[in-house]
Amino acid sequence: MMDFATRVHNHNYRLDPIIRSLLDTDFYKFLMHQFIWMLYPKVPVTFGLINRTKTVRLAEIIPEAVLRAQLDHARTLSFRENELIWLAGNRFYGRRDIFRPEYIEYLRSFRLPDYKLETIDGQYVLTFEGDWAEVTMWEIYALAIVSELRSRIAMATLDKFELDILYAQTKTKIWNKIKKLKSYPDMRLAEFGTRRRHGFLWQEWVTDAMANELGRSFVGTSNALLAFKHSFEAIGTNSHELPMVFACLAENDDQLKTAQYDVLAKWQEVYDGELLIILPDTFGMTQFLRDAPAWASKWTGMRMDSKEPVAAGEEMIAWYAMRGEDPRKKRAMFSDGLEVDLMIDLHQRFRGRIRESFGWGTMATNDFRGAHPRGLDSLDPISLVCKVTYANGRSAVKLSDNPAKTTGSSPAEIERYLRIFGREGVAEQPVIV
């Protein structure tokens, strides 16, 4: 039967919003946001969206008005009552009451702040400037909007049949990956693909497929809206943003060196248990571990995001052993552009030696490579990031363990960071996403 109302409604709509809920972001943003809001809400911070895939000239693909309409729509959103109740009442990592009532109250009136959008040399320069507690929340929404708009535009010229084939081929691809993963029932992995997703509905389909098929191997999703909607575990703790801003708060070189530990000391005042995950690679993992205070090895584990993962895992195991901790009780979360074969290799290598697990991102939620029905690459994922660029009046720096992932607008500051943190254990690797 003809559903007249739906058909007419489809003619009427003015905007198909990408972000429809402020929960549609990575869960770690809420943990960091509460932390920032409690301790450093007014630090002046700038976030900037960076497309590391320079060959894709985003400003020539996505019309500015279309991008603005999506960003403006996100700014109209506020948290819904049921979303706030979920944040306040849900158990995260096995614990209730992670979010303080005062923070939930603050979220009730939260709106995304303004943005600045310019175009330079075919690329958008999208920046968010203001109080840290306000601008920090833009990160994932901005990434998802740009990523999804690019998909939509690439698909706008496909006819109904080509679209059918596109999704059939992509479902077949992801199904083959999931089938492979099913052979390793001891693996533990989470969906981490919000920021560079093909689209929300596709991310939801993939996450649902993982949950359905992988049983206990699927431990949850980084996406708070999917966790809320489907009662999945929300996964993720913190990101490079924290040590990067802390580094900008340092008043001298000595403080800069210890900023990476000071932020963890503060974190542990606010959170405990499973939330105590170290992200050691902001300024280089080797120097971080070598000079880390004794309490750092008591934490739950680490997330490995830029060092070649076998080397990172071995380094982690050796470090815990040297510090007198049993590595087999420590969490190792790998999350750097992972694909299935690599996850399986890492699982086989580290199984029983550490509590290895995986954050599977872009290759879960946006692997359309080879699926375009006319053979184009316009749906292949690109390397989009949204990073702190300035904080406290200083140019922010992330060195990472892979120079290809270094960020920072000031060569002098990068030079200074390199002088202070050194380059030990750093090695270039190709960045796909």
Contact footprint for its own copies (CB under 8 A): 1, 3, 5-6, 9, 159, 161, 164-165, 167-169, 171-172, 175, 208-209, 212-213, 373
Using DSSP's 3-state secondary structure scheme, residue 204 falls into helix
Q: How far is the CB of 265 from its own copies (least distance, A)?
A: 45
**Which of 131, 159, 391, 101 has its CA nearest to residue 259?**
391
Q: How far is the CB of 148 from its own copies (least distance, A)?
A: 21
Of residues 13 and 251, the one with the C-beta less far from its own copies: 13
DSSP per-residue codes, 124-161: EEEEEEEEHHHHTTHHHHHHHHHHHHHHHHHHTT--HH
User: Buried b / exposed e across 148-178, counting CB within 10 Å, b at 16+?
Assistant: bbbbeebbeebeeeeeeebbeebeebbeebb
Burial of 48 (0-12, 13-18, 19+ CB in 10 A): buried
Using DSSP's 3-state secondary structure scheme, residue 118 falls into strand
Of residues 129 and 213, the one with the C-beta less far from its own copies: 213
Q: How far is the CB of 182 from its own copies (least distance, A)?
A: 11
Q: How far is the CB of 218 from its own copies (least distance, A)?
A: 13
Tokens in use for 45?
A: 């911070």
Q: How far is the CB of 5 from its own copies (least distance, A)?
A: 5
Of residues 168 and 322, the one with the C-beta less far from its own copies: 168
Q: How far is the CB of 227 from its own copies (least distance, A)?
A: 19
Chain centre to alpha carbon of residue 301: 18
Of residues 106 and 167, the one with the C-beta less far from its own copies: 167
Of residues 8 and 65, the one with the C-beta less far from its own copies: 8
Q: How far is the CB of 172 from its own copies (least distance, A)?
A: 4
Of residues 178 and 189, the one with the C-beta less far from its own copies: 178
CA angle 25, 30, 35 (to 5 degrees): 150
Q: Which 8-state DSSP code applies to residue 273?
A: G
Query: Long-range contacts of range 403-411, CB-CB < 8 Å, 24 or more positions apart?
Result: 403/428, 404/428, 404/429, 404/430, 404/431, 405/306, 405/431, 407/50
Q: How far is the CB of 331 from its own copies (least distance, A)?
A: 30
Q: How far is the CB of 235 from its own copies (least distance, A)?
A: 22
- CB-based contacts of 165, cutoff 8 Å, min separation 6: 373
Return the bridge partners of 358, or none. 189, 334
Tokens in use for 314?
A: 């071995």
Contact 302, 277 (CB under 8 A): yes
Q: How far is the CB of 169 from its own copies (least distance, A)?
A: 5
422, 427, 428, 432 alpha-carbon torsion, rounded to 10°: -110
Of residues 213 and 325, the one with the C-beta less far from its own copies: 213
**Residue 96, CA distances (Å) to 89, 99, 229, 271, 299 in order:** 7, 8, 18, 12, 20
Of residues 208 and 339, the one with the C-beta less far from its own copies: 208
Of residues 2 and 412, the one with the C-beta less far from its own copies: 2
Q: Which 8-state DSSP code applies to residue 47?
A: E
Put the strands of the sheet holding 277-278 in their side by side order. 218-221, 189-191, 355-360, 331-334, 301-304, 277-278
Distance CA 413, CA 394 (A): 9
Of residues 217 and 407, the one with the C-beta less far from its own copies: 217
